[in-house]
Every structure is written in C-alpha cells, then in structure tokens.
Amino acid sequence: MAPAVFGTGVPAVDGIRIGIGGWTYAPWRHTFYPQGLVSRRELEYASRRFSTIEINGTFYGARRASEYAQWREQTPPGFVFSVKAPQHITQRGPLARCGKAAWAFLNGGLAELGDRLGPVLWHMPPSRLFDADDLAAFLDLLPRTLDGRPLRHVLEPSHPSFLDPRYIEIARAFGAGTVVTDAPDMPAIGDVTGHLVYVRLMRSRVDLQEGYEAAELDAWLQRLRLWSRGEQPADVPRLVEAPTAQGTPEVYAYFIGGAKQRNPAAAMALIARLLRH
C-alpha cells in the first residue's frame, strides 16, 4: 500500500534548489518509489523529496493546460518546476524565425503552473553554432513575463563555438542564464549570465549507490553555496573576468542523465548535505 501522507516538501535553502529530471522512469519503481505506489502519485511523492524537478516531457511534445494544472495541484507550496522548451523551436533553422513558436509554447498553458513555474530551459543542439546576431534576435523575441509573473530564461549551448566572450555579453544583456554542466562533451561555461544559476549534473555512475563519490557531492555543494552568495567557484571555468550579475542569484541543480537510476539518490544525498550544513 502507498503511504497516505508524503510530507510537506523540501525547502529551498539560501535560494538553492536541488532535484532531478522528470519523475517517470521505470527503474525508479524499484530504487526510489515505495513499493505499491501507483504511477499517478509519483509526482506527488517525488515533489516532497526534492525542492524542484525539471520537466523534460515538454521537450518532445506539447502538453495541455489541464496537465500543467494537475501538476501544480499535486505539488506542495514552495515547490518549483523548471520546464524544458520543445526541441522543434531551437533545432530547426534560424532562431530569429522561432518567435511565433516560442510564444505559442509559453502561452500554451504554462501559466497554469502558477507559482510553481520556475526557469524555462532552451536547449541548443550540438548542430547549432553560435551566431551572435541570431541569438540576440531570438532572446529579444522572448517575453519577460507570463500572466504578470517574471519569466526566467536559461540557455544550454552544446557546440564549442559558444565558448566566445560575445556569448556571455549577449546572455547578460538579456538576463538569460546559462547552464553549468559536468558533462564532458558539453561546453564548460561557468559565467553567471542571469539572475539564476542552473546546474545540470550528468555524470552519475551505476557502481556508486549515490551516483557520485562523497567528495564530488561535497565539492558541488560548496560551488552551489558560493553561487548563492553571489561568489564564483575558482574551479569552474569562465569566459570573461567581468563581474557576474548583480545580487545573489537563485541556484537550481538537477541530476539528469548519466546513470539515471542513481539520480534520485544523488539528489537526496546532496539535499541532506545542504540541510545539514
């Protein structure tokens, strides 16, 4: 039998939120979810173990407004989703021509998440090279609010051509965040370009119960804490030495990819460290 009560949720600490990508994955039914938990209650359970979850399903197809409303209702107060924008927007042709598709996605029901709506992630595929004018035109098309709430946009470059100081200048000019990742095949960009830091950790390993070595989790906690104070970790590469965004940013960290079956354990291990220290 599934438990009747799952708890009140995990708070953000000093603006730091930690979670996973998605909540539906078959192996998690044996490694994370309680025995007997029905699938329709998986989000209800997961949202009380993490302070944030990245919605990945939106990357592959549109969702109905009613689904967003259900997800809001199943999560506790203080919980926040990030949402991965559809791949068809950023993977086909010039970005400057994608304004209509971007607006259709953003106004296609996301507002139903209400105060559960956090950052919107725009993934740039490995085939997309950095084009300063095209990127600036795209960012200029993106709305800054949705139903009166601020929209926070995050970019995830995949091609090494984004390792260009001009990219940092453009992202900062529009207040768009940039993904920080430990993936070996992704550009390493540690510059804070928006009013949030968005970390995607992709190197969990199946031979480790918590996905990462204890020392690795300790190191990531230290980096998250520095970012939350408006400081810069010395061991994360930057493209420019100019000051980072003003103020203390929100920090989002997701365990996603790698040995996916280990990601909930990795996220909970990092949360335990955050709450303990």
Instruction: Give the pLDDT confidence score for residue 243 in this predicted structure.
Output: 61
- Asked whether residue 5 carries a pLDDT value surpassing 70, the answer given is no
What is the per-residue pLDDT for 261?
96
Instruction: Enumerate residues 6+ apart whose C-beta is below 8 A from 107.
Output: 146
Structure confidence by residue, pLDDT tens digits, 73-120: 999 999 999 999 999 999 888 999 999 999 999 999 999 999 999 999
Q: Domain coordinates of the chain in residue numbers?
A: 16-276
Q: Which CATH architecture has domain 16-276?
A: Alpha-Beta Barrel (3.20)
Interatomic CA distance for residues 31 and 261, integer angstroms:
7
Q: pLDDT higher for 249 or 77? A: 77
CA–CA separation, 109 and 114 (whole Å): 10
Query: What is the band of 248 on the pLDDT scale with cuts at 50, 70, 90?
Result: confident
CA 148 to chain centre: 22
Give the pLDDT of residue 1.
36
* Predicted confidence (pLDDT) at residue 202 exceeds the cutoff of 50: yes
- Cα angle 152, 261, 8; round to 5: 55
CB 31 within 8 A of CB 268: no
Binned at pLDDT 50, 70 and 90, residue 3 comes out as very low
How does DSSP assign 72-139, residue by residue? Answer: HHHS-TT-EEEEEPPHHHHSSS-GGG-HHHHHHHHTSSGGGGGGGEEEEEEEPPTT----HHHHHHHH
What is the predicted pLDDT for the residue at 246? 58
- Write out the two tokens for 260: 């996916």
Q: What's the whole-number mean pLDDT along residues 159-168?
A: 97
CA proximity to 142, closest of 186, 183, 99, 113: 99
Residue carrying the six token digits 């970019």:
155
- For residue 241, the one-letter residue type is E
Q: Flag whether pLDDT at 147 surpasses 80.
A: yes
Q: What is the pLDDT of residues 25-81, one digit of tens each?
A: 999 999 999 999 999 999 999 999 999 999 999 999 889 999 999 999 999 999 999
Please state, in angstroms and rounded to a whole number, the distance separating the CA atoms of residues 103 and 91. 16
Give the helix/strand (H/E) hosting 20.
strand 16-21
Residue 188 structure tokens: 């390493």
pTM assigned to the model: 0.95
CA dist 132 → 82, 100, 124, 186 (Å): 26, 20, 14, 19
Give me the helix-helix angle, 132-141 and 165-174, nearest 10°.
Answer: 10
Mean pLDDT, residues 126-144 = 97
What are 155's strand-pairing partners?
122, 178
